[in-house]
Amino acid sequence: MITYYVYILECADKTFYTGITSNLTQRLESHQSGKYKDSYTDKRRPVTLAFYCEFTDPNMAIETEKRIKKWSKAKKRALITGEYDELQNLAKKKFS
């Protein structure tokens, strides 16, 4: 059985990157080494693994990644810090 990981990296510029992989260690090394030039994390290194969760169903993992990517920075921070009660209260996006 394959395990899929949805992960959040905190970049050097304090932004977050959300991704999905079936090999978390290898993917982190790819982000840190700048393997993929012109990727979001390439110019924002070093990156730190801030959060990850595991799935056995790839469709659930993909759906979760897509959902988290739409979240505000505050909502991602609440997930990372384990403030789960706050997740409902935080807006997906703030519009000016």
pLDDT for position 86: 85
Here the tokens at position 46 are 């070093």
Higher model confidence: residue 30 or residue 85?
A: 30
pLDDT for residue 91 is more than 90: no
The 10 Å Cβ neighbour count of residue 68 is 20
With a CB cutoff of 8 Å and minimum separation 6, the contacts of 25 are none
pLDDT digits (tens, 9 = 90+) for 30-83: 999 999 899 999 999 999 999 999 999 999 999 999 999 999 999 999 999 999
* Domain positions in the chain: 4-69
Q: Are 47 and 19 in contact, with CB atoms under 8 Å apart?
A: no
Buried residues in 1-34 as b, exposed as e (16+ CB within 10 A): eeebbbbbbbbeeeebbbbbbeebeebbeebeee
The amino acid present at 64, given as its one-letter code, is T
Topology of the domain covering 4-69:
GIY-YIG endonuclease (3.40.1440)
